[in-house]
Structure 1
Amino acid sequence: MGKSNKNSRRKFIQQSAIAGVGLMFIPNVISAFGKESRSTLENNKKMNIEMGTRQLGKLQVSTLGAGCMSISANYGAAAKIEEGIKTIRTAYENGITFFDTAEVYGPFTNEKLAGEALAPFRDNVSIATKFGFDINGNSKSGGLNSRPDHIRKVVEESLVRLRTDRIDLLYQHRVDPNVPIEDVAGTVKDLIKEGKVLHFGLSEANVSTIRKAHAVQSISAIQTEYSFMERSVEKNGVLALCEELGIGFVPWGPVGMGYLTGQLNANTVFDPKYDGRSNFERFTPQNLAANMPIVNLLKDFASKKNATASQVALAWLLAQKPFIVPIPGTRNIPHFKENLGATDIQLTAADLQELEAGFSKLKVNGGRMNAKEMAVCE
């Protein structure tokens, strides 16, 4: 596709989004914020608020990203649309330029929310989304599906929901054992040539799969759970391979799916209807209590830095490698602003040694997800 054609297509889609065409979109609620909010958004674009940047391959993003999932799914009942939009826009106003979503979150509603919230400043942000599940109705009960024709179908539908003409970073959400990874990478490579996708990523993939995919289409980012208490990627070679190949790393669950905030305890109740943590081993009452020494370690250290446990957990991740970009997620604006404080914490070599010495004496109790979820992780 020629440059002029790409620009024409982009202009058309952006104009269509502003006009609000298509009944499939979430109802436009920008007006709920009034003229003052519109003015604030425009002013923030001009202010060019900076929080520092990092590289995910060739994609430059803010040092911290924003995980949008928890606003719509998996960590409780979905927030109100207005609340979600305000949270996402507050992230942008505070320097976040990297937003992570997926078709399966909701499903579909999180992409619609992100598209609605980011439309006024689409050209100033990078949006990551994912394919890989065969979604039946309101669930992913259809299993995995990364067939080339399905990838193309998902991309076209995601572009509509996101109100855009390109996806900045497209991940395979989970590796499909029934489709050669070379075919997946080749399909994304074609989508990149067409201008519908800009960068390629994999989520929860192993070293062998990453190497095979990268040989076909360069990978910009790997996304896998990684936190102060969950360190599998340090042991299975994935983090080292990212460094070797120049691939960025995006930790999901960077504050232990909320546990490292210190706000959860053995009495916390997770609604099984809305909260996926309700059947994860680490979130049983017994393990919530048993893992509390890890939280206390972070809290005790944070007190010396005039910080919070969450901030130290995120600062620890940022200190591990310069190509790591955590994507903490929240619908709570005070919590979001708390997370931002992590970028102001500079951990010295002595600090890191102190934290490591303390952690080495502790045990992490319980697996990171349930058997069903782990079965689709390599």
Structure 2
Amino acid sequence: MKPLFLPGFLAAGLMLTPVARAQDAPPVNADVILRELDMIEQRQKQTLASARQMAISQLRSAAVSPSAAAALYADAVEAVEFEGKPNKGAAFAEWKSGMGDALRSTDFQNVILLHLRYLVMSLERGASDKPELFIAPSLAYANDLVPTEDSFQDLKKKQADKPANERAQRDRDIAQKTLNAKKDLLDKSISDGVFTRWLRLQQWLPKSDGWELTPGNLAGILEKNVRSVMRTVKDPALIQTWDLEMKVLADRATSGRLDFLAADFNTMVRPKMIFSRANDMILLGQTNRAANDIYILVKTYPQHPDFSKWVIKLREILKPAPAASTEAAPAEAATPQPAPTPGTNP
């Protein structure tokens, strides 16, 4: 088969095409474009801020009423869990019918309310550059979280002790659904929560290194939201947060609400927390209190895994490194020089 040759003018046109495409456009008006960019960015920020505030208002409105909170939760579940499924309406209606008693229960609604409350606080923290404003709200939330957590531990026991009858089975079903809701809404990060996914709130949440994202993590809330901020301003109330956490855990240990025994708490967990509290005492200038607490730990728990760490810290407190002298060192005495030998240079 003979090779095909393109006409000369067509071949030349194809050869010139890349050259034509490589030519630049006319000069742009940089000042105009930059001004317009500023306006676009400003409008975008305003739009995002408005959307964030609308979401907060919607969540806050639902958080004032248990029934409103349950209704908003059902809306979120429908949008997230049933969107795109075959027979969406029928499937959601069946779910809602099966969840009716649980959604009306006080324990279930309390879980939703706590989640909404913490989500709103987290969204507000994400938009603020003043973490100290969230110390008091975080402590207030923590104080409300404690009895809720304890009630769930008691709920498990009560359901296990109930007789096997129809009413008891109904109560057990409600309790299990409530425990499942607690696992989803309090024991997981709010970034994965059903409200966050529904309203696309991830972009407005704070970073996890400076804010606890799990609504049910009491230790994380006290450490990240409260203590880390108190340390920067050396707030004396810092010590009280340790006392609060130790009291909560001690009460749970003695009542059997914790997975470990009270003896394990007293001999392993509590000493660790006392040492952490002592380090914060040092930060606040309460060195003598810290030394006394660590000394008691050393004497009382010599078999503790952190014993060596305690000893090192106690020695540092009792024998601090000498401060560098600011005075000029005295001039060294001149070394006597031997008399020059005759005939030599001195």
Given the two structures, how large is their TM-score scaled by the length of structure 1? 0.24
> With CA pairs under 8 Å and 6+ residues apart, which has the higher RCO, 1 or 2?
1
Bigger proportion of residues as strand:
1
Bigger proportion of residues as helix:
2
Mark the structure with the bigger radius of gyration: 2
